[in-house]
């Protein structure tokens, strides 16, 4: 029998794919998940996509007693449990801080008493804020977030102090964080807390900075989940994907299958502990192009993206990953192309039901002055 891995938050779509990846490679898998209604619906029942080979414990990451039971006879831990959503984090401040920051602290406290061979924690590209930029001379700039005044004027691009637009370049792991939301702050706290405690207690720890992840099992009715699932939810309901700003902001999108492989390699690779690693495709795509490709994959050619010209507090303009370090440390590279991934996502979407709560989510932001 192989090693036993505990995945916190493992009933979510990344966790379920990771469970499949681990089971296929000889591991035993246990999951601790509270099955929050926003993701799993009000019934909070075991999701049908979670393998029956997985030992599921339904409990909150902040429940120390349940966590102690879940850690019994576990060899390794992958910590995915987190509230996810940049916009929502700006008005559910207590909830995000409690689950993400305190929940991680409770886990680490438990691991000081029930140590494991390795800990992998899910961090996020959101910690970078804006990505890396250079000017026309090739000089690299560490930039500040855009001001509300600039955004209200519809001036979307990052500029230098003389007002000249800068060019985005791939963002490496040594780029200093620019935390633009409560969510980003909480993910950075999760990452650093795990690496600090891991070093202090000789617990080999790896942080993986996930960029925009997509694929089957995403919560289509959760408006705060990934960008492609939000687009898919709108399209399945016959609505146009709604795009903030001008749609030309650049992101980096990665298949959940590649993310699952990266998590397994982080558990196995001897040189991984102590690192924080970007996990993404390394290829930028505009949000507008991502919406168009999603519409095309689902087969709704009569729908076109709607450019709203609005802005959410906490959003950034451009960020895409430099993945040279993870290639070196884990020997990992993305294998699923966007075309392949969208075809797979579209196949899964057949027969799926999506409640489009995007309008409600935007109204909540606007009511609090968090959407310009």
Q: Dump the DSSP string for 76-120.
A: EEEE------HHHHTT-HHHHIIIIIIHHHHHHHHHHHS--SEEE
Residue of 128, 110, 127 lying closest to 119 (CA atoms): 110
302, exposed or middle or buried, with CB in 10 Å at 0-12, 13-18, 19+? exposed
Three-state DSSP class for 45? coil
Q: What is the pLDDT of residue 340?
A: 96
Q: Which residues contact 182 (CB under 8 A, 6 or more apart)?
A: 89, 90, 93, 96, 97, 314
Rounded-to-integer distance, Cα 349 and Cα 226, Å: 15
Q: Which residues contact 185 (CB under 8 A, 6 or more apart)?
A: 179
* C-alpha dist (Å) from residue 334 to 79, 213, 280: 21, 12, 7
Q: Which residues contact 52 (CB under 8 A, 6 or more apart)?
A: none
Domain boundaries, the chain: 4-367
Q: What is the pLDDT of residue 34?
A: 97
Going by CATH, does the domain composed of 4-367 fall within 3.40.50.720? yes
What tokens were used for 139?
A: 């000089």
Q: What is the pLDDT of residue 76?
A: 98
Q: What is the pLDDT of residue 230?
A: 87
Q: What is the pLDDT of residue 201?
A: 98
Tens of pLDDT along the chain (372 residues) come to 689 999 999 999 999 999 999 999 999 999 999 999 988 888 899 999 999 999 999 999 999 999 999 999 999 999 999 999 888 999 999 999 999 999 999 999 999 999 999 999 999 999 999 999 999 999 998 888 888 889 989 999 999 888 899 999 999 999 999 998 999 999 999 999 999 999 999 999 999 999 999 999 988 877 777 788 889 889 988 999 999 999 999 999 999 999 999 999 999 999 999 999 999 999 999 999 999 999 999 999 899 999 999 998 778 999 999 999 999 999 999 999 999 999 999 999 887 776 666 666 667 767 777 676
């Amino acid at each position: 029998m192989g090693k036993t891995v505990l995945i916190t938050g493992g009933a979510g779509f990344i966790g379920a794919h990771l469970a499949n990846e681990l089971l296929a490679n000889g591991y035993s898998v246990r999951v601790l998940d509270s099955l929050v209604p926003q993701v799993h619906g009000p019934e909070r029942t075991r999701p049908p996509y979670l393998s029956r080979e997985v030992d599921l414990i339904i409990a909150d990451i902040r429940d120390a007693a349940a966590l102690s039971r879940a850690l019994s006879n576990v060899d390794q831990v992958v910590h995915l449990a987190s509230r996810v959503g940049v916009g929502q984090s700006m008005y559910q401040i207590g909830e995000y801080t409690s689950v993400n920051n305190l929940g991680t602290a409770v886990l680490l406290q438990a691991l000081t008493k029930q140590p494991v061979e390795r800990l992998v924690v899910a961090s996020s590209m959101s910690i970078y804020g804006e990505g890396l930029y250079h000017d026309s001379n090739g000089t690299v700039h560490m930039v500040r977030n855009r001001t509300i005044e600039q955004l209200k004027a519809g001036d979307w691009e990052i500029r230098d102090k003389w007002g000249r637009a800068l060019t985005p370049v791939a963002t490496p792991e040594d780029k200093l964080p620019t935390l633009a939301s409560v969510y980003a702050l909480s993910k950075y706290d999760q990452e650093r807390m795990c690496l600090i405690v891991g070093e202090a207690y000789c617990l080999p720890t790896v942080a993986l900075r996930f960029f925009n992840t997509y694929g089957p099992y995403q919560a289509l009715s959760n408006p705060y989940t990934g960008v492609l699932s939000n687009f898919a939810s709108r399209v399945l309901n016959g609505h146009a994907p709604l795009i903030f700003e001008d749609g030309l902001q650049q992101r980096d999108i990665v298949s959940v299958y590649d993310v699952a492989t990266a998590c397994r390699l982080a558990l196995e690779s001897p040189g991984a502990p102590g690192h924080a690693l970007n996990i993404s495709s390394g290829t930028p795509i505009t949000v507008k192009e991502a919406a168009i490709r999603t519409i095309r994959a689902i087969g709704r050619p009569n729908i076109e993206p709607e450019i709203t010209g609005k802005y959410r507090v906490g959003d950034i303009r451009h960020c895409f990953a430099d993945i040279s370090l993870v290639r070196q440390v884990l020997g990992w590279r993305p294998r699923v192309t966007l075309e392949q991934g969208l075809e797979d996502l579209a196949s899964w979407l057949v027969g799926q039901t999506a409640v489009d709560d995007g309008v409600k989510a935007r109204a909540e932001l606007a009511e609090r002055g968090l959407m310009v």
